[in-house]
Amino acid sequence: MMRNGLDKEMYESTPIYLKLIDKLAPFYTKIGVDYGQMRTILETKMIMDSRRDPVIQGMSSNEDEREDKNHFFRSLWVYALVSVFMLFLFVYDNWVFQYTTYFSYLFIMVFFTMLANFSTILLDTKDADLIGSKPVSQKTIGAAKATHISIYLISFTFAVGLVIILSTFYFNGILAGILLIILTLLASLWTLGLTIILYATVLKHFDGERLKNIIAYSQISVSIFMVAGYYLMGQIFEIIDPSTFLVEMDLSLGHALLFPMWFVAPFGLLQEGFKMVYVIYTLFLFLGTIGIGILYYINSDKIDRNLQKMNKTKMRVSERSLLENGTEKLLCLSSLEKAYYHFTWQLTKNEREFKTRLYPSIASALVFPLFIFFTTLRGGQSITSQNTLTFSYLPYFTMLSIPMIAVVTQFSVNHKGSWIFELSPGRAKGPFLRAVTKVMLVKILLPMYSFISLLILVLMGFAQSVHLLNGFLLMSVILYFEMKRSVKTLPFTRKYAASEANQGCLSGLIFFVPVFIVSISMIVLQTFIPYAEWGVLLLLISINIWWIKKGFDE
Amino acid sequence: MEPIVELIDVIKTFDGREVLKGINFSVMPGEIIGYIGPNGAGKSTTVKILLGMLKKDSGTIRIFNQTLDEKDETYKSRIGYVPENAELYETLTAKEYLLFVGELYGMKEKEIIRKAVLMMDALGIKESFHGRLSGFSKGMRQKVLIISSLIHDPDILFWDEPLSGLDANSVQIIKELLAKLKDEGKTIFYSSHVMDTVEKLSDRILILHGGEVVADGPFNELKKEAAGTLEELFNTLTGFDEHEALADQLLKGIKGEFTHDA
């Protein structure tokens, strides 16, 4: 039978996830998977995840090599901690309200993590060469990938849900607790299933460059859909009695599409007894699960069967755009920095992994300000001094994508090409980091910020333009400090690894508090002290000029 | 004797471009085939189709006396493969990688380790058995790839540039091994751009150019069409005779001597 662990000296015991998966062996065999092979692939992948690649080839010491740690599992406690805020839900004894909030939050977190961080595993083409030439069926490779991701995704889901699950046992009883565990697991599997079905469908019908774009954009649209859905949740409830949070679900066709609601209905049945609304939604959940199961079975080998399309590229004449050339002349001072500026611009234009990791983050940073903008407008509110204040600081929300920017610029699928940086005449690190930060500012943050700002300028005229300009300059300074804090190696020299998938979220948490304080201070300063915005403008210009010239120098 | 591999009118297109334009050839057991062609001729595509890693558009492939069924992977357990781009899972140790590959072929742990140690010893890398592949030199990685293609004692070998990065002694060992494998009745597809090695090793040469087989036969027979070395024959068949002029152009490039049309 199978061996236990690849290297027996290091892996005496079988990891718990493998023991659990071993119990599912008959199920895997039944759907046409060679379980022995799948287990071998899975075990190997998990060991690979627990080892980080040395940043510079051949530079790792033996000491480091012996230390196998999976960084993903070691950071899960943070998510459990963050979810503590949801404890307020138990103040009111309304299960439907409690679990609607819970499942909305859970689905956003899990979908976001899945799309941004685990797409790379599903779409990995290296396996095709290394495993595809062996007698392993595509169904087995597909199942290994899905199981590999689900180990992470289920752990992540339960880390996010832990506080609520434990509280449910305490406040709502054992039955509700068990139901929540089952439904939380199901939510995790739904996310994985839906993603696989989506990618398999896209891969089947399209190819080449278009496919890559479709995948990147589908990530954005799913992110937008999830975040927008979260805000729509508020409309489903009709608050009957605010003092007791007595609420009622409103079942209309449009709302029925918000599938996290389907996960809530069983709790309604459990607490309030028979109600047609809950019965219908529970039925949707049941049918939806069967539907996803069938669609997964049909599509489980389609991704790997069509994965070769991912590597096909069309010949394209690459020209430097006016924006690229213009900003290079304006922002880059040395020839080395100019070279790195163009290099970064082109690399980020072509690298799929860069886009698939960053785009969902951009989407969610845009959705919130846009949502507020449009709901305020739709509500027919007039522009008062109060919402002038709100509006002029909406673009600040685009800053939320900065932590992810600082993470993605460290990695590249082409990390092996990084030896070229070591050959550059002169010290590479300072100019390279300056160039990368400038490209991110111009290429990613400027368009986002300008887009929201433009909407506000159109709506409110130019009175707020200095505030808006200051916001951008502040964002530039924050980007610099965040890059300086988190990018410790040369950019684009690290390899994407599943175990480091949640780095973006983690640094987001570290990032949030100081940035919030700085932004609020600036808002208060500019709002309450006359002409303070001009002082702020001068200060921010000086700091920006400094980092543009000398930032990252050692 | 029946051919062990047979391709009949195999066509493959990528984005409307025909990469294989109806390939036909057959290979007998125990033959060493020198499989050569210029870059982009379709060599790797053919091998990947034979290995089930790519789907053909049309045509028939017979392998081990059976028509290739793209859904049945079991035939792959009788094939060994060294890819041109020496990709490995670098965070694994040599031992772990070879165990991984061996188990995908359905082998037992003990058997894999015993075979791996013996072969690594023969190629002078036994001391690195527990070392991570990320710290291996190019030649060492190539040796691991060669061992991984042989560990399950396959009947057909597809080797794409197998000697790349190997030192002179190791090259000699592998050449000796090829002769012995041939004696054992193994079939070897040997693809390389190093013409004199192909010329010396192969029983038969297959030259692919523009998605078509332009030459197929023992070197001695092919030589009758264009006297000289395999390199010269290759140049004649692929219609390439501008070496000196292009070397001059490169030199001009280095010196920065541009003509107005460059």
In a domain, A404, yes or no: yes
Looking at the complex, report in whole angstroms how far the Cα of residue B158 sits from the nearest Cα belonging to chain A: 10
Gap between the Cα atoms of B91 and A497, Å rounded: 11
Asked if residue A512 and residue A377 are part of one domain, the reply reads yes
* Beta-carbon contacts below 8 Å between A and B: 92
In a domain, A439, yes or no: yes
Q: In this predicted structure, what is the pLDDT of residue A60?
A: 37
ipTM, 2 dp: 0.77
Gap between the Cα atoms of A362 and A393, Å rounded: 17
CA-based radius of gyration for chain B: 20
In a domain, A3, yes or no: no
Could you tell me the two tokens for A433? 């980091």
Gap between the Cα atoms of A199 and A338, Å rounded: 38
Q: Say whether residue B74 is in contact with chain A using an 8 A CB cutoff.
A: yes
Q: Say whether residue B85 is in contact with chain A using an 8 A CB cutoff.
A: yes
In a domain, A388, yes or no: yes
Report the run of H or E that residue B213 belongs to, with start and end.
Answer: strand B212-217
Asked if residue A479 and residue A348 are part of one domain, the reply reads yes
Preferred mutation among B56, B85, B89, B158 to probe A, highest tally of A CBs within 10 A: B89
In a domain, A212, yes or no: yes
**Cβ count near A111 (within 10 Å):** 23
Least CB-CB distance to A134: which of B71, B88, B101?
A: B101
Q: Say whether residue B64 is in contact with chain A using an 8 A CB cutoff.
A: no
Preferred mutation among B84, B85, B91, B160 to probe A, highest tally of A CBs within 10 A: B91
Q: Please, what are the domains in chain B?
A: 5-255 (3.40.50.300)
Asked if residue A338 and residue A199 are part of one domain, the reply reads no
Of A311, A339, A372, which residue sits at a domain end?
A311
Q: Say whether residue A128 is in contact with chain B using an 8 A CB cutoff.
A: yes
Domain that holds residue A444: 330-550
Given a contact cutoff of 8 angstroms between Cβ atoms, the answer to whether A121 and A149 are in contact is yes
Q: pLDDT > 70: what percent of chain A?
A: 77
In a domain, A83, yes or no: yes
Q: In this predicted structure, what is the pLDDT of residue A4?
A: 42
Is there a contact between A6 and B100 if contact means CB atoms under 8 Å apart? yes
Asked if residue A293 and residue A388 are part of one domain, the reply reads no
Could you tell me the two tokens for B206? 């297959």
Asked if residue A481 and residue A441 are part of one domain, the reply reads yes
Gap between the Cα atoms of A271 and A105, Å rounded: 21
- Give the model confidence (pLDDT) of A243-296 as tens digits: 655 566 565 555 677 788 889 889 988 888 888 888 888 999 999 999 999 998
User: In the structure, what pLDDT confidence band is assigned to residue A367 with cuts at 50, 70 and 90?
Assistant: confident
Q: What's the whole-number mean pLDDT along residues B190-212?
A: 87
- Give the model confidence (pLDDT) of B29-71 as tens digits: 999 999 888 888 888 889 888 888 888 889 999 998 888 876 7
Preferred mutation among A133, A315, A499 to probe B, highest tally of B CBs within 10 A: A133
Per-position b or e across A306-327, b if 16+ CB within 10 A of its CB: bbbbbeeeeeeeeeeeeebeeb
Asked if residue A121 and residue A44 are part of one domain, the reply reads yes
Asked if residue A450 and residue A356 are part of one domain, the reply reads yes
Asked if residue A515 and residue A377 are part of one domain, the reply reads yes
Is there a contact between B74 and A312 if contact means CB atoms under 8 Å apart? no
Asked if residue A149 and residue A292 are part of one domain, the reply reads yes
Of A311, A340, A363, which residue sits at a domain end?
A311
Could you tell me the two tokens for A504? 């973006």
Report the run of H or E that residue B189 belongs to, with start and end.
Answer: strand B187-191
Asked if residue A336 and residue A247 are part of one domain, the reply reads no
Least CB-CB distance to A57: which of B79, B83, B134?
A: B134
In a domain, A442, yes or no: yes
Q: Is this structure's pTM higher than 0.80?
A: no
Least confident of A220-229, A478-487, B194-203: A220-229
In a domain, A27, yes or no: yes
Asked if residue A422 and residue A336 are part of one domain, the reply reads yes
Sign of CA dihedral A284, A289, A292, A293: negative
Q: Name the residue of chain B whose CA is nearest to A53's CA.
A: B91
Pairing of strands B156-160, A237-241: unpaired
- Tell me the angle at which helices A446-460 and A352-378 cross, rounded to the nearest 10 degrees: 10
Of A247, A277, A311, which residue sits at a domain end?
A311
User: In the structure, what pLDDT confidence band is assigned to residue A239 with cuts at 50, 70 and 90?
Assistant: low
User: In the structure, what pLDDT confidence band is assigned to residue A5 with cuts at 50, 70 and 90?
Assistant: very low
Is there a contact between A308 and B83 if contact means CB atoms under 8 Å apart? no
Asked if residue A523 and residue A452 are part of one domain, the reply reads yes
Question: What are the DSSP E strand ranges found in A236-306?
Answer: 237-241, 246-249
Given a contact cutoff of 8 angstroms between Cβ atoms, the answer to whether B209 and B237 are in contact is yes
Per-position b or e across A30-44, b if 16+ CB within 10 A of its CB: eeebbbbbbbbbbbb
With contacts defined as CB-CB under 8 Å, which chain B residues touch A129? 53, 83, 85, 87
Q: Please tell me the total count of domains within chain A.
A: 2
Looking at residue A385, its amino acid is: S
